[in-house]
Amino acid sequence: MANVYVFLGPPGAGKGTLGELFCRDSGAIHVSTGQLLRDEMAQGSDLGLQVKDLIARGALVSDDIVAAMVAKRLSQPDIKAHGVLLDGFPRTVPQAEMLSTILAKSGDVMAAVLLIEADDAMLMGRLTSRRMCPNKQCEAIYNVQTNPPRQEGICDRCGAALIQRSDDSEETARGRLKVYDEQTRPLVDYYQGKGQLVRMHSGDVAVDVNYGRLKAALKR
């Protein structure tokens, strides 16, 4: 039986950085649906071939396929031994219901759904200050305000020159926050209704301060 954690929060709230710290300290395995898609395609599995065909045709990967990949990953021994932090799933109420069915069958437990909240002004500052490692084997994310690299413009992990994504403009950032609110609000209400939601506020403070808030929230 594994403990399953889901972190929700707007872009720029620090989910990635806080999730990395959480997995480091708790031993939970970080599982990204994007990485699952890439892994299944690389392995040439039945699911991977379906995904590859859909992408080649410009079609969206269905919830059923994503749920099947998540269920497959949750069945593996490292997850059973250490627990898991899901990244990118669920994003909608139907996906949350699918996850509930998966956990009922696997015997795993939803330990907590953490909602990381933050002020819009701070989110805008973070989103437009973000820098990313372009190395596909790394893809580390930094923020020049709150989580800068040790050497300006250079990735701490692999030494690649950092880039600013084209979609990190102020206009695009506002659009992303609007879409997040519209899509995620029903999901927040869903988990609130099930008594599984806990909240924390991510402030414009040092990462270790926000991480302390996260640990306190998960103990409630």
Per-residue confidence in pLDDT tens, the chain, 220 aa:
899 999 999 988 888 889 999 999 999 999 988 888 888 888 888 888 988 888 888 877 889 989 999 999 999 999 999 999 998 899 899 999 999 999 999 999 999 999 999 998 888 888 888 899 999 899 898 988 878 999 999 999 999 999 987 777 788 888 888 988 888 889 999 999 999 999 999 988 888 999 999 999 998 7
The answer to whether residue 165 is catalytic is yes
Residue 183, classed as helix, strand or coil, is: helix
The ranges assigned to domains in the chain are 3-117+180-219
pTM over 0.75? The answer is yes
DSSP symbols for 37-96: HHHHHHHT-HHHHHHHHHHHTTPPPPHHHHHHHHHHHHTSHHHHHH-EEEES---SHHHH
Euclidean distance between CA atoms 181 and 190, whole angstroms: 14
The answer to whether residue 91 is catalytic is yes
The answer to whether residue 215 is catalytic is no
Euclidean distance between CA atoms 12 and 33, whole angstroms: 19
Query: In this prediction, what percent of the chain has a pLDDT beyond 70?
Result: 100
Nearest to 113 by CA among 2, 3, 1: 3
The answer to whether residue 38 is catalytic is no
Query: Out of 24, 157, 165, 185, which one is annotated catalytic?
Result: 165
Euclidean distance between CA atoms 168 and 135, whole angstroms: 18
Q: Which tokens go with 98?
A: 């699918």
Residues in the chain: 220
- pLDDT tens figures, 181-204: 888 889 999 999 999 999 999 988
Query: Out of 15, 126, 131, 213, which one is annotated catalytic?
Result: 15
Query: Out of 73, 126, 130, 213, which one is annotated catalytic?
Result: 130
Q: Which tokens go with 45?
A: 């599995």
Q: 124: exposed, middle or buried (C-beta count within 10 Å: 0-12, 13-18, 19+)?
A: middle
Query: Out of 38, 72, 80, 91, which one is annotated catalytic?
Result: 91
The answer to whether residue 157 is catalytic is no
CB–CB of 83/186 below 8 Å?
A: no
CB–CB of 61/37 below 8 Å?
A: yes
Please determine, looking at this structure, whether the domain spanning 3-117+180-219 carries the CATH number 3.40.50.300: yes
